[in-house]
């Protein structure tokens, strides 16, 4: 061949070069082509603040596998990429950078701050994209979008205004997650729950007009200041007589009612709970049902406000200490119990989130959720695996109104305008010049921005040109598959589905492929606090992108977490080396020019072609079912075991004796090349770089494996009988190898082999394929016959289903040398047994040594005695 592979596989030497070629040739790019069926995946947009982590690496590897597979199948495959403005994360980073320069965000002002933010985006926003390219992601970067680009921003405004006009968006006071440090509302997605050590404070609330009290238990005594009721279960006999009575709120003196509500768990705590509608989501719902007052006791920075009496101005935890002390002095603190509980933490600043009732913008969710629920029930939308259906439905069926406003500057500013003269609210796509109610031009825009999820909920269609009816939108939408982690179902998947139905009347995708988390080798979640995160770029630098990709998908099952092992990366790299070296071997033997398909194929040729056929069919079926881990394990086993370890070894005789039968050698080379090329195609979606390098070196009919045709089942290579025949040979080879290993026969020692079978068909199989397995069983002569006639009685035998293999004993073993070796072994074992018996008969050792040490010695003795028995038996056979 004119071209050949480098002697050693070096990912660094090929990966960047190949990626540049792919991009230059526009292999990732998709244009509308009505003659082809589209297949679209929309990339979950990584944050512009982001650094590639293992979760990104897994998510994007799975998407890339699917898009490469579909591209090779002839689909017009579009992988739509982009990045997210990540309002809170970005604002936190920019604010910190300004602070480091001695600049206060508020003194800088909104306009100047936004100028800095866009500069920051320009400088750092493309970092994660370049990292995704290192991974081999074949997204259509020509179409890269950003959630705050002109088109996406237009879509956001369109949706907000439409929803407002339809009555789905409103401004009101409801309970939200509040971050006292970032001083903004945050979504559930930005709240991480961590188990913390805390306490249960048991407090007596005096009942009005009596000397009795009702005992409640709370983990947050400071919220007592905003209590507006005590609730008990309607069926709780202990409290039935108290329902309707009033209690005196400790430290405050306010009278609050005892109410009955089925929200209360009779078995938990005392069965009586304090209700603080302004500071607990469940209490808020109870408050709505019972028309309770809402008393917010905290300022935005989590200090106690004017409703807190003497505790006003104290930090929430400072107030907690003071209040507990005062309750104790009043004799109202009964006891304090240790308690482990889940606490909500803001994932950006690690501050404990404070539930608060605040005036915000909300989306009414009850009606919008219905089509999203129906989509799953009718099969328009499916989850892989299906068990995530329950999670999806559970969240949608209990959905609350969605808080969409954020007290931030970076993001989509809410298109609502206020008249300073009459208070009118105007929601408009364009900034109004005057108030439609009073005609005043004294207007100002709402200071808040929209939740990041508001824009990313529109991502599958806003990236394709919606709200304009563009050709891209008409052709590529709805998309086909969304690939995402199970931790994001509520926050993003559900919002995209209901948004899709609300604005396009269609589900944004038909399938959601759910994957798990990548954990460390101990099964722990990777995190900064544990310091156990592994940088994918470090893995790529050391072992190559292909090795990382193969590692991430090996054994990966939809919805399941996986553990990351460095040993597995090494195994993946070793597999790449195996493929590389096998390819080099084949190329070294290939002649110049094209090899025609042979007229006659040998048994082993037909076997490997038939196995390729079967594997192709199975892998395609697995990939269509999104069983990507199962599919790659089949490709891996086929290439390593069947192709490299069996087929290549089986045809070496024909290659090395080309002069004796050139036609047979050419048939072997044609088969070697044909199977390698097809196997590389099956492997390509998983390991794109190495497969491309080999493919472009071994053939020149096609420019790139990326745009080559996906292998298909070929009827003419369906050699089921020949498969069975070669499997017989494999059984014989394995049996002979096992016997030789047991008898310590060195590979260099060749022995005569007799194959005996009463079945003529089996004898013909072994006879016709003699040279394919002679080297594999390390034989210098193979005799095939129908009986044991002429075979020595001491011949070693191997039984396989349809034949018996015999090897003359004296050809396998140098009897004199073996007797000498066994006698030395017998002497050694006798010494070990004597030593071991001596220790175990020593009373001091047995009584004073650690029990585990004594047990270990007993196990050694048993092992030596068994080995001695085997050595003696072998000696008696030889002598």
pLDDT the model gives residue 807: 87
- What does 364-390 look like in DSSP terms, one character per residue? --HHHHHHHHHHHHHTSSEEESTTHHH
> What tokens appear for 845 in the block?
């050792």
- What's the average model confidence in pLDDT over 632-643? 97
CA atoms within 13 A on the CB side of 704: 18
pLDDT the model gives residue 817: 76
Per DSSP, helices labelled H in 743-783 are: 760-768, 770-773
Beta bridge partners of 359: 173
Q: Is the pLDDT of residue 236 over 70?
A: yes
Q: Return the CATH fold of 816-878.
A: Helix Hairpins (1.10.287)
**CATH superfamily placement of domain 184-355:** Valyl/Leucyl/Isoleucyl-tRNA synthetase, editing domain (3.90.740.10)
CA 399 – CA 391 distance, rounded (Å): 12
CA 864 – CA 872 distance, rounded (Å): 12
Using one digit for the tens of pLDDT, what is the confidence trace for 381-403?
Answer: 999 999 999 999 998 998 889 99
Q: Is the pLDDT of residue 125 over 90?
A: no
CA 51 – CA 787 distance, rounded (Å): 71
Distinct helix (H) and strand (E) counts, the chain: 30, 29
How, if at all, do strands 169-179 and 184-186 pair?
Answer: antiparallel
Give, in order, the Cα–Cα distances in Å from 560 to each of 58, 139, 550, 555, 629: 12, 25, 17, 10, 11
Identify the DSSP state of 315: B
> What tokens appear for 392 in the block?
């999806």
> SS3 for 449?
strand
pLDDT the model gives residue 617: 97
Is there a contact between 235 and 206 (Cβ–Cβ < 8 Å)?
Answer: no
CA 138 – CA 136 distance, rounded (Å): 6
Q: Quote the pTM value.
A: 0.86
- What's the average model confidence in pLDDT over 70-89? 95
Give, in order, the Cα–Cα distances in Å from 424 to each of 361, 444, 518: 16, 11, 51
> Taking Cα atoms as reference points, which of 704, 731, 577 lies closest to residue 644?
577
CA 696 – CA 22 distance, rounded (Å): 13
> SS3 for 456?
helix
- What's the average model confidence in pLDDT over 822-835? 89
> What tokens appear for 485 in the block?
């982690």
CA 619 – CA 613 distance, rounded (Å): 10
Beta bridge partners of 229: 275
Give 456's pLDDT tier (boundaries 50, 70, 90): very high
Q: Is the pLDDT of residue 193 over 60?
A: yes
Using one digit for the tens of pLDDT, what is the confidence trace for 474-522?
Answer: 999 999 999 999 877 677 899 999 999 999 999 999 999 999 989 988 8
Q: Return the CATH fold of 31-158+459-515.
A: Rossmann fold (3.40.50)
Give 340's pLDDT tier (boundaries 50, 70, 90): confident
pLDDT the model gives residue 800: 83
- What's the average model confidence in pLDDT over 804-822? 79
| Residues of the chain above pLDDT 90, percent | 71
> What tokens appear for 212 in the block?
């009795």
Using one digit for the tens of pLDDT, what is the confidence trace for 255-308?
Answer: 999 999 999 999 888 899 999 999 998 999 999 999 999 999 999 899 999 999
Per DSSP, helices labelled H in 73-205 are: 87-100, 105-108, 110-124, 127-134, 150-165
Q: Is the pLDDT of residue 445 over 90?
A: yes
Q: Is residue 24 part of an annotated ligand binding site?
A: no
Alpha-carbon dihedral angle through residues 555, 561, 565, 571, given to the nearest 10 degrees: 10
- What's the average model confidence in pLDDT over 783-811? 85
CA 297 – CA 354 distance, rounded (Å): 11
Beta bridge partners of 502: none
- The residue ranking higher by pLDDT, 33 or 173, is 33
CA 159 – CA 145 distance, rounded (Å): 18
Is there a contact between 276 and 355 (Cβ–Cβ < 8 Å)?
Answer: no
Three-state secondary structure readout of 647-701: HHHHHHHHHHCCCCCHHHHHHHHHHHHHHHHHHHHHHCCCCHHHHHHHHHHHCCC
Contact partners, residue 87, CB within 8 Å, separation at least 6: 406, 408, 410, 411, 449, 451, 452
Name residue, tokens 């982690």: 485
Q: Return the CATH fold of 564-702.
A: Isoleucyl-tRNA Synthetase; Domain 1 (1.10.730)
> Taking Cα atoms as reference points, which of 767, 147, 711 lies closest to residue 451?
147
> What tokens appear for 673 in the block?
């090349």
Phi, psi of 384 (to 5 degrees): -120, 115
Is there a contact between 270 and 337 (Cβ–Cβ < 8 Å)?
Answer: no
Radius of gyration of the chain (CA): 37
pLDDT the model gives residue 469: 94
Contact partners, residue 508, CB within 8 Å, separation at least 6: 42, 460, 461, 477, 478, 479, 482, 496, 497, 499, 500
pLDDT the model gives residue 187: 75
CA 513 – CA 41 distance, rounded (Å): 11
- What's the average model confidence in pLDDT over 193-205? 86
Q: Going by CATH, does the domain composed of 722-813 fall within 3.30.2320?
A: yes
CA 134 – CA 65 distance, rounded (Å): 15
CB burial of residue 530 (10 Å; 0-12, 13-18, 19+): exposed
Domain boundaries, the chain: 31-158+459-515, 184-355, 564-702, 722-813, 816-878
> SS3 for 799?
strand
Counting every residue written for the chain, the total comes to 879
> Taking Cα atoms as reference points, which of 340, 341, 347 lies closest to residue 528?
347
CA 577 – CA 550 distance, rounded (Å): 13
> Taking Cα atoms as reference points, which of 721, 740, 718, 732 lies closest to residue 770?
732
CA 433 – CA 441 distance, rounded (Å): 6
> What tokens appear for 463 in the block?
């990236």
User: Using alpha carbons only, what angle is made at residue 272 by residues 268 and 275, rounded to the nearest 5 degrees?
Assistant: 110
Is there a contact between 506 and 478 (Cβ–Cβ < 8 Å)?
Answer: yes
How, if at all, do strands 169-179 and 354-363 pair?
Answer: antiparallel
Question: Rounded to an integer, what is the distance from CA 265 to the centroid of its chain?
Answer: 37
CA 429 – CA 154 distance, rounded (Å): 9
pLDDT the model gives residue 1: 40
CA 590 – CA 584 distance, rounded (Å): 10
> What tokens appear for 689 in the block?
């770089």
CA atoms within 13 A on the CB side of 632: 27
Using one digit for the tens of pLDDT, what is the confidence trace for 638-667?
Answer: 999 999 999 999 999 999 999 889 999 999
Alpha-carbon dihedral angle through residues 500, 503, 504, 509, given to the nearest 10 degrees: -10
pLDDT the model gives residue 88: 85
Using one digit for the tens of pLDDT, what is the confidence trace for 538-586?
Answer: 999 999 999 999 999 998 899 899 999 999 999 999 999 999 999 999 9
Give 126's pLDDT tier (boundaries 50, 70, 90): confident
CA 847 – CA 855 distance, rounded (Å): 12
Calculate helix-pair angle for 127-134, 536-543, nearest 10 degrees: 40
Q: Is the pLDDT of residue 200 over 80?
A: yes
Using one digit for the tens of pLDDT, what is the confidence trace for 586-612?
Answer: 999 999 888 999 999 999 999 999 999
User: Comparing 75-84, 103-112, 679-688, which segment has the lowest mean pLDDT?
Assistant: 103-112
> What tokens appear for 405 in the block?
């406003």
In the chain, what's the furthest Cα-to-Cα distance?
118
Give, in order, the Cα–Cα distances in Å from 586 to each of 431, 549, 551, 605, 673: 70, 26, 26, 15, 7
| Residues of the chain above pLDDT 70, percent | 99
Q: Is the pLDDT of residue 768 over 70?
A: yes
Phi, psi of 606 (to 5 degrees): -65, -35
How, if at all, do strands 803-807 and 796-800 pair?
Answer: antiparallel
CA 558 – CA 380 distance, rounded (Å): 20
Give 198's pLDDT tier (boundaries 50, 70, 90): confident
pLDDT the model gives residue 668: 96
Assign residue 787 a region: left if phi > 0, alpha if psi is -120 to 50, beta otherwise?
A: beta
> What tokens appear for 731 in the block?
């059984």
Identify the DSSP state of 97: H
Beta bridge partners of 176: 356
Is there a contact between 169 and 513 (Cβ–Cβ < 8 Å)?
Answer: no
> Taking Cα atoms as reference points, which of 446, 397, 392 lies closest to residue 420?
446
CA 760 – CA 38 distance, rounded (Å): 55
pLDDT the model gives residue 15: 97
pLDDT the model gives residue 851: 87
């Amino acid at each position: 061949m004119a071209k050949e592979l480098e002697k050693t596989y070096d990912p660094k030497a090929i990966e960047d070069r190949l990626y540049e070629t792919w991009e230059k040739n526009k292999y990732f790019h998709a244009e509308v082509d009505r003659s082809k069926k589209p297949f679209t995946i929309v990339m979950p947009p990584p944050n512009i603040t982001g650094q590639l982590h293992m979760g990104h690496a897994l998510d994007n590897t799975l998407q890339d596998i699917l898009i490469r597979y579909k591209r090779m199948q002839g689909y017009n495959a579009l992988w739509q990429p982009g990045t997210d403005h990540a309002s809170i994360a970005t604002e936190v980073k920019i604010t910190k950078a300004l602070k480091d320069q001695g600049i206060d965000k508020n003194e800088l002002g909104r306009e100047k701050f936004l100028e800095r933010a866009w500069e920051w985006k320009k400088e750092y926003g493309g970092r994660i994209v370049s990292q995704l390219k290192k991974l081999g992601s074949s997204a259509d970067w020509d179409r890269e979008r950003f959630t705050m680009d002109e088109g996406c921003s237009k879509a956001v405004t369109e949706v907000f205004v439409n929803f407002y006009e339809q009555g789905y968006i409103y401004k009101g006071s409801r309970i939200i997650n509040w971050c006292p440090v970032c001083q903004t509302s945050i979504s559930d997605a930005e709240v991480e729950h961590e188990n913390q050590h805390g306490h249960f404070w048991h407090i007596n609330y005096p009942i009005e007009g009596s000397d009795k009290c009702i005992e409640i238990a709370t983990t947050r005594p400071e919220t007592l200041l905003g209590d507006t009721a005590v609730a008990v279960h309607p069926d709780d006999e202990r409290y039935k007589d108290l329902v309707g009575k009033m209690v005196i709120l400790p430290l405050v003196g306010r009278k609050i009612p005892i109410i009955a509500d089925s929200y209360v768990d009779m078995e938990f705590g005392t069965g009586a709970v304090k209700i603080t509608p302004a500071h607990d989501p469940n209490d808020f719902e109870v408050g709505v049902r019972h028309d309770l007052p809402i008393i917010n006791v905290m300022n935005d920075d989590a200090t106690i406000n004017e409703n807190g009496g003497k505790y006003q101005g104290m930090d929430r935890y400072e107030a907690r200490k003071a209040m507990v002390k005062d309750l104790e002095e009043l004799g109202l603190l009964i006891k304090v119990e240790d308690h482990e509980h889940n606490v909500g933490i803001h994932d950006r600043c690690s501050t404990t989130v404070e539930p608060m009732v605040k005036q915000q913008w909300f989306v009414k969710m009850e009606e919008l959720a219905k089509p999203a629920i129906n989509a799953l029930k009718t099969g328009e939308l499916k989850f892989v695996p299906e068990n995530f259906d329950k999670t999806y439905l559970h969240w949608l069926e209990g959905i609350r109104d969605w808080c969409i406003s954020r007290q931030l500057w970076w993001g989509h500013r809410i298109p609502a305008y206020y008249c300073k003269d009459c208070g009118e609210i105007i929601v408009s796509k364009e900034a109004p010049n005057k108030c439609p109610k009073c005609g005043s031009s004294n207007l100002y825009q709402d200071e808040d921005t929209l939740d990041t999820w508001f824009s990313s909920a529109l991502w599958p269609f806003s990236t394709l040109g919606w709200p304009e009816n563009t050709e891209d939108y008409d052709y590529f939408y709805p998309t086909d598959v969304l690939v995402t982690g199970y931790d994001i179902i509520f926050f993003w998947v559900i919002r995209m589905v209901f948004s899709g139905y609300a604005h396009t009347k269609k589900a944004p995708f038909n399938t959601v492929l759910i994957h798990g988390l990548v954990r460390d080798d101990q099964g722990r979640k990777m995190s900064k606090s544990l310091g156990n995160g592994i940088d994918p770029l470090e893995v790529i630098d050391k072992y190559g992108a292909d090795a990382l990709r193969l590692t991430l998908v090996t054994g990966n099952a939809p919805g399941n977490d996986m553990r990351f092992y460095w040993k597995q990366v090494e195994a993946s790299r070793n597999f790449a080396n195996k493929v590389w070296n096998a390819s080099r071997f084949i190329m070294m033997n290939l002649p110049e020019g094209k090899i025609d398909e042979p007229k006659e194929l040998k048994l082993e040729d037909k076997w490997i072609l038939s196995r390729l056929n079967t594997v192709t069919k199975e892998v395609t079926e697995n990939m269509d079912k999104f069983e990507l881990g199962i599919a790659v394990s089949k490709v891996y086993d086929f290439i390593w075991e069947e192709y490299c370890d069996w087929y290549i070894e089986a045809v070496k005789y024909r290659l090395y004796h080309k002069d004796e039968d050139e036609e047979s050698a050419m048939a072997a080379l044609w088969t070697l090349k044909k199977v390698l090329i097809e196997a590389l195609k099956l492997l390509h979606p998983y390991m794109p770089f190495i497969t491309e390098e080999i493919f472009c070196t071994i053939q020149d009919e096609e420019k790139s494996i990326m745009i080559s045709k996906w292998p298909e089942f070929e009827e003419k290579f369906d050699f089921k009988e020949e498969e069975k025949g070669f499997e017989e040979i494999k059984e014989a080879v394995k049996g002979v190898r096992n016997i030789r290993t047991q008898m310590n026969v060195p590979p260099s020692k060749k022995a005569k082999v007799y194959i005996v079978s009463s079945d003529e068909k089996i004898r013909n199989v072994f006879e016709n394929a003699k040279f394919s397995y002679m080297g594999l069983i390390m034989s210098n002569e193979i005799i095939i016959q129908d009986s044991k006639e002429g075979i020595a009685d001491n011949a070693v035998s191997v039984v396989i289903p349809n034949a018996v293999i015999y090897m003359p004993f004296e050809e396998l073993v140098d009897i004199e040398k073996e007797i000498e070796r066994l006698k030395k072994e017998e002497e050694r074992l006798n010494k070990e047994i004597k030593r071991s018996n001596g220790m175990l008969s020593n009373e001091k050792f047995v009584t004073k040594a650690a029990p585990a040490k004594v047990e270990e010695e007993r196990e050694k003795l048993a092992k030596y005695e068994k080995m001695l028995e085997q050595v003696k038996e072998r000696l008696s056979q030889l002598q």
